Amino acid sequence: MKENIKWWQKAVVYQIYPRSFQDSNGDGIGDLQGIRQHLDYIQKLGADVIWLNPVYVSPNLDNGYDIADYEAINHEFGDMQAFDNLLTEAHDRGIKIIMDLVVNHSSDQHPWFIESRSSKDNPKRDFYIWRDAVDGHEPNNWGSFFSGPAWKLDTATNQYYLHLFATGQPDLNWENKTLRDAIYKMMNWWVDKGIDGFRMDVISLISKPDNLPDGPIPVGGTYGDANSIVANGPRVHQYLTEMRQQVLNNSDLMTVGETAGVDIENAKRYSALDASELNMIFQFEHMELDNNPNPALGKWNDQPVDLIKLKANLSKWQTELAGKAWNSLYWNNHDQPRIVSRFGDDSPEFRVVSAKMLATLLHCMQGTPYIYQGEEIGMTNATNYHLEDYNDIEIKNAYDYLVIKEQLIDAQTFLKYVHAKGRDNARTPMQWSANDYAGFSTVQPWLKLNNNYAEINVETALADPDSIFYHYQKLIQLRHELPIFTTGEYLLLDSDDAEVYAYKRLTKDEELLVICNFTKEGQIRLYPIPDAAELLLSNYLDDQHELLRPFEAKIYRFKKI
């Protein structure tokens, strides 16, 4: 990789889901003032950037991903003054803030949609995607990401509108230049405020193909797969190039696109190092390896991931983008279950050691690492939840569809799958202490707490020098101090080893060797390690060389052999 490293290539991002981070005013909902109270904590961890999930005015059908006003703060979180204060105080500490940009769709409560739906000749009609019925049915066979059809008939004008997500999240029509200009104007308004970049929600879906063709219906399914038709659509690169010219070149921003359905070729364009579009993307392939083998059930499953497949996939992204584009590295976010429960082992015996192993594996790769709130203390999936405890629209709609309407699985099986994969696993309130409501709030939080907060919390983690928190802190320090973490070439070792994931990072004169035992059994492995090698970090107190203990992870650094 050539020099001229950008700031965001060396940065580590901390993701905050404001609703669940810290309630400062006793309403059970996290808020901006609550985030301000923990800036020192984020600074202590060492993160350079905060990604804030949506904080805009929203009816909260999908917790802020349905925006009714892009330039105002949802009153539950505070007001614009509170946002400005947060931004200033973060900047005072050298921490940047990137905002969630949700412009594939808006809320149906956005004034644009209210106007658009009012009549066929309203000037905003074409801001959204309207179609006539075909033979008395939806205009095509697309299913929504949140179950059911992706079209809703609006009786006011007797046409259907497209909603790839919930019915309250109508898709914006990017073909319309006036709409695009309005979006760029809004983005520039935020840039002028001094924000440091954008995380772009499902940005790979903004350009719908002409004629909106039907999608393939998965075996046992009812609706066509819209993702495979819409993702990386015909004009998406053109729109992002335009956005770069109209907005992104105006400041030294960091941009990360959430790109459902991306492949390597499109990824190289979205996140090319020449920054003609975005800086990096979130790809989903490694998060889909543990999907249900029955395509009609999609992500709903509770089976472990196959390590050989995981290695092959992560390695593909590492090597294919090297020198051409930039990866983001993530295990967790607000849409994914907790990684220690998913790819590690959250039992009392192995939680700490496996969480550190997973952190090591990810943070030594090439790309920009993301840490999702609570990951740094090893928060787990919430298995104390019953069906009625869930809030997430994806879970509720999937229940109605899979259990009630189609009867593909029974309620017990569904609950088992939701314990393993549901998005609310990530959204349970942040566990700050063993105090009432985990120190998150002084009242019953908006979403039920994970009942393990007395053992797993920030206060306990900070008091223990051997905690997961300090392991993450050390990984961040290493990335900041040693350029090889940013620039080193990635080389997978032993692709068919089903228990241990080992890889190297190489520069012209040094090497990192990263060894991760993915199992709860001891393993014996012999790697060529020079005597002078330095053990940079490990999750055990001593080194037993070829003996790898359960979930052991080690990073060696040495001069090139």
Which residues are identified as catalytic?
A: 201, 258
Please list, in sequence order, all residues whose beta carbon lies within 8 angstroms of the beta carbon of residue 92, skipping any fewer than 6 positions away. Answer: none
Nearest CB to ligand NOJ, comparing residues 20 and 517: 20
Nearest CB to ligand NOJ, comparing residues 163 and 505: 163
485 binds ligand NOJ (CB under 6 A): no
State in angstroms the smallest separation of the CB of 49 from ligand NOJ: 17
Count other Cβ atoms within 10 Å, centred on residue 465: 7
Please list, in sequence order, all residues whose beta carbon lies within 8 angstroms of the beta carbon of residue 164, skipping any fewer than 6 positions away. Answer: 104, 105, 142, 144, 145, 150, 171, 202, 205, 226, 230
**How far is CA 551 from its chain centroid?**
24
> What is the torsion angle, in degrees rounded to the nearest 10, for the CA atoms of residue 402, residue 407, residue 409 and residue 410?
110
Query: What helix, strand, coil percent values describe the chain, rounded to 5?
Result: 35, 20, 50
Rounded CA gap, 325 and 264, in Å? 10
Tell me the chain's radius of gyration from C-alpha atoms. Answer: 23
Please list, in sequence order, all residues whose beta carbon lies within 8 angstroms of the beta carbon of residue 544, skipping any fewer than 6 positions away. Answer: none
State in angstroms the smallest separation of the CB of 124 from ligand NOJ: 21
Q: What values do phi and psi take at 461, rounded to 5?
A: -65, -40
- Widest CA span of the chain, in angstroms? 77
Choice from 23, 335, 345, 511 touching ligand NOJ (CB under 6 A): 335
Token digits for 383?
């298995």
Residues 176-215 that bind ligand NOJ (CB under 6 A): 201-202
In the bound complex, which residue of the shown chain has the CB atom lying closest to ligand NOJ?
Answer: 65
How many residues sit in the footprint of ligand NOJ (CB under 6 A)?
9
Residues 257-316 that bind ligand NOJ (CB under 6 A): 258
Count other Cβ atoms within 10 Å, centred on residue 560: 10
State in angstroms the smallest separation of the CB of 186 from ligand NOJ: 17
Nearest CB to ligand NOJ, comparing residues 335 and 376: 335
State in angstroms the smallest separation of the CB of 474 from ligand NOJ: 29
State in angstroms the smallest separation of the CB of 174 from ligand NOJ: 15
State in angstroms the smallest separation of the CB of 554 from ligand NOJ: 34
Nearest CB to ligand NOJ, comparing residues 227 and 341: 227
Nearest CB to ligand NOJ, comparing residues 180 and 334: 334
Q: What values do phi and psi take at 491, rounded to 5?
A: -140, 115
Nearest CB to ligand NOJ, comparing residues 58 and 116: 58
Residues 227-266 that bind ligand NOJ (CB under 6 A): 258
Task: Show the DSSP H helices in 276-338 as ranges.
Answer: 307-321
Residues 26-65 that bind ligand NOJ (CB under 6 A): 62, 65
Rounded CA gap, 203 and 198, in Å? 11
State in angstroms the smallest separation of the CB of 168 from ligand NOJ: 11
Token digits for 144?
């929504």
Lay out the site mask for ligand NOJ across 115-154 (x = CB under 6 A, - = otherwise): ----------------------------------------
Amino acid 213 reads P
Contact 201, 70 (CB under 8 A): no
Nearest CB to ligand NOJ, comparing residues 202 and 456: 202
Choice from 47, 50, 102, 478 touching ligand NOJ (CB under 6 A): 102
165 binds ligand NOJ (CB under 6 A): yes
Q: What is the residue whose two structure tokens read 């090319």?
A: 272
68 binds ligand NOJ (CB under 6 A): no
Residues forming contacts to ligand NOJ in the complex (CB under 6 A) are: 62, 65, 102, 165, 201-202, 258, 334-335
